[in-house]
Chains A and B, each alone.
Chain A
């Protein structure tokens, strides 16, 4: 770990981390633009970079992207990212009551503390978990992938069936191309362009960036809301750390553990933490009116969820959200296989991710503390400038993958598919993660069946694999069980009345 910090403090790595965090904060502060979009668009530019440089840049963007959302959430009541929705509940009323500086100061402090506490979990748990994961064979990996996909599809907001269908669709789109096991084309329908399959980057840029830009283009044009830029120094004292200490600790733990679970995300982590803090408060009625603990709870948890989400990513190669799926793509582009072997094959990258996460939080504190006024002003850039520029970047980024336009057309096709799925209220998260995990799931299943001579019952003798499948089944059945319990309670309440 010490070596990772020494490498990170080399001037080039530090510069990329600084640049990534700054870019992330700016993009996170602009409503409508997200960290995942920024990372997907930056990925083609990292092809020629050293793997540690690339990873530090992307981790900085991830941390900055989630943190930056608090600025517009507090000043404009427009969360820059979904993770900051909860911050609007108390942050905006505080700004309206003449305390924008205080709300921003608390939000920034909470974000950093959340990041640091979840870093402790990340640094403490990852090497141990990776060692544990080395015991896994193909059956365990297959079951783990299935568990991640089912949890992601079930826990994503909206219909369960649509979530599962999105995951299956994503997996299906990963099938065309040469099947490495038999060295023969599969589902290419005699089209040479499909022989190498659909590239991860064009799919990601299309499904997230293009579909979002098309949606934004169709939204009504509004004049930008005037922003009250903070004028005074950000007021925070050491005693605030003491006052909000228990709240920040609790919210960090909630955020980290929710981040660990696939598909839930920073916005739910913030909401759960906010609700818990309100329930435990002696004055719950103050929440929503500009109450300081509300800002602290939400901002601590959303930042802490990043550290949690990075744990399954680097220890098992399982993405918990779209941003992690893109980070997996980044590692793959640099010929690195995320998973337990990352700590053995490329320890500089595995520990580099952990170290970069901590330093990115500190850079974020420095940048937000000193430049919050300017970042807030940048977030006012009109949509027309942003969208036209991003469209050019999407085209150039997709083209740069292989220096050919087939990828650009693939990006357009997936942009249309993404837009169609969103119109039909099908979540895009399971779709993209299904696409990323499909080759792993198939490879592991085929490997398992070869090892067991086609005997599927072999999985019954694998306790870890069975536990993963049990959790997947429980996640699927949980809504039904809860529905049944609620119905019973309703009946028992009605019976004494009748």
Chain B
């Protein structure tokens, strides 16, 4: 099932209002201007106000769209019940599309999780750059590849070469300590 864009807009509005709230709270802790007319808190307050204003416009539009959608659903349900019902073939097609979209989303989440774990391994666990990077490239590359098992060793080899090459360039030539 696809989420109606108006719901996405309402989620955006909530996030923006929370952000605007943070701006107001942060601005309230700042001292009043002493040597200049504007002061440090003015811009956060102005931007907070603007964000609330834009968020309200988007919220009103989204609620309007959702109300319109509910009304039209009621009307279409009352007038024609048979045409709105999906055929068996359509629903099968829909479930296929949903399945592939879901697989894609899961793959995206998997890549994101791998990225977080990669940074945790380098930053918090302080593991060595070359093996961690090689493992990361192997996992992400295999997850994104259509021929999973055949690609595994290719990505492992590529990851090792890439990690070793990057390590060499960054530490020897650009003086960046990769750990």
Binding site for B on A (CB under 8 A): 45, 47-48, 159, 161-162, 164-165, 168-169, 171-172, 175, 179, 181-182, 184, 186-187, 189, 210, 213-215, 217-221, 223, 382-385, 387-389, 391-392, 395-396, 399-400, 403, 405, 408-409, 412, 420-421, 423-426, 438, 442, 445-446, 449-450, 453-454
Contacts and interface: CB of A to CB of B under 8 A. Distances in A.
B119 A395 contact: yes
Given A171-B47, A384-B145, A449-B36, A399 B176 contact: yes
B119 A409 contact: yes
A161 B16 CA distance: 13
Interface in B22-46: 22-23, 26-27, 30-31, 34-38, 40, 43-44
Interface stretch (B49-57, B64-72, B81-89): B49-57
B122 A388 contact: no
A184 B19 contact: no
Nearest to B140: A388
Of A181, A184, A399, A412, which is in contact with the most chain B CB atoms at under 10 Å from its CB?
A: A399
Nearest to B166: A396
Nearest to B142: A384
Contacts of A399: 176, 178
Contact of A168 (B51, B100, B123, B176): B51
A389 B137 contact: yes
Contacts of B119: 395, 405, 408-409, 412
A405 B26 contact: no
Interface string B122-147: 11000000000100110011111110
B43 A449 contact: no
Contacts of A45: 174
Contact of A165 (B37, B54, B163): B54
Question: What is the interface of chain B mostly: helix, strand, loop, or mixed?
Answer: helix
Contacts of B118: 395
Q: Find the residue from A48, A186, A214, A223 having the highest chain B CB count within 10 A.
A: A186
Nearest to A400: B176
Contact of B57 (A47, A161, A218, A426): A161
Nearest to B37: A454
A168 B50 contact: yes
A55 to B, nearest CB: 18
A421 to B, nearest CB: 8
A420 B15 contact: yes
B54 A219 contact: no
A101 B163 CA distance: 39
B47 A403 contact: no
13 contacts: A48-B175, A169-B51, A184-B40, A215-B108, A221-B107, A384-B140, A384-B145, A388-B136, A391-B136, A395-B115, A395-B122, A409-B119, A445-B43
A449 B170 contact: no
A219 B159 CA distance: 23
Contact of A217 (B35, B36, B107): B107
B105 interface: yes
Q: How extensive is the interface on chain B, given as a class?
A: 35 or more
Given A175-B47, A182-B31, A424-B11, 15 more contacts: A161-B57, A161-B58, A164-B50, A172-B51, A181-B36, A182-B34, A187-B23, A215-B108, A388-B140, A388-B141, A392-B136, A409-B119, A420-B12, A445-B38, A450-B37
A464 to B, nearest CB: 21
Of A165, A179, A217, A438, chain B has the most CB atoms within 10 Å of the CB of: A217
Nearest to B9: A424
Nearest to A222: B146
Contact of B166 (A392, A423, A426, A438): A392
A221 B144 contact: yes
A418 to B, nearest CB: 13
Contacts of A217: 104, 107-108, 110-112, 143-144
Nearest to A389: B162
Contact of A382 (B47, B123, B145): B145
A218 B144 contact: no
B8 interface: yes
A164 B61 CA distance: 16
A375 to B, nearest CB: 21
A19 to B, nearest CB: 14
Contacts of A385: 141, 158
Given A169-B19, A215-B108, A220-B104, A449 B140 contact: no
Contacts of B176: 396, 399-400, 403
B78 interface: no
Contacts of B168: none
B116 interface: yes
B99 to A, nearest CB: 11
A161 B163 CA distance: 44
Contacts of B54: 161-162, 164-165, 168
A334 B122 CA distance: 29
Contacts of A423: 8
A214 B166 contact: no
B177 interface: yes
Contacts of A449: 36-38
A223 B100 CA distance: 15
